[in-house]
């Protein structure tokens, strides 16, 4: 990877981690209100603007960061990395229908 690609990768990785943590962490009394933020879209609207590339993936693949994935994403992971890998790494993930 080029230095620009590495920098972009790390920024997106950090942004995804922040969004994932916010959505999946239980609200703490007097620390962070719930704000009704349970989706990347809600995070984008209420908490902090989300980068365009992450929003594109969210909309194109119904990517929620809520420990779910679409059948299309599951099939892609299995095709690229194998079913054993998928079963080891994603056993607790709920599989949801693809967007039509």
Per-residue pLDDT reduced to its tens digit, 41-79: 999 999 899 999 999 988 887 777 777 788 888 898 899
Answer yes or no: pTM beyond 0.85: no
Q: Is the pLDDT of residue 30 over 60?
A: no
- For every residue of 27-83, which 3-state class applies, written as one string? CCCCCCCCCCCCCHHHHHHHCCCCCHHHHHHHHHHCCCCCCEEEHHHHHHHHHHHCH
Sequence ranges of the domains in the chain: 1-64, 67-100
Q: What percent of the chain has pLDDT over 70?
A: 88
Q: Which residue has the higher pLDDT, 98 or 33?
A: 98
How much is the mean pLDDT over the chain?
84
- Cα 23 from chain centre: 10
């Amino acid at each position: 990877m080029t230095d620009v690609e590495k920098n972009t990768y790390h920024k997106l990785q950090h942004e995804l981690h922040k969004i994932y943590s916010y959505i999946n962490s239980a609200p703490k009394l007097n620390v962070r209100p719930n704000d009704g933020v349970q989706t990347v879209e809600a995070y984008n609207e209420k908490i902090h603007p989300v980068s365009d590339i992450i929003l594109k993936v969210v909309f194109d693949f119904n990517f929620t960061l809520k420990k779910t994935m679409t059948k299309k994403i599951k099939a892609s992971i299995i095709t690229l990395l194998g079913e054993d890998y998928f079963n080891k790494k994603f056993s607790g993930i709920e599989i949801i229908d693809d967007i039509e």
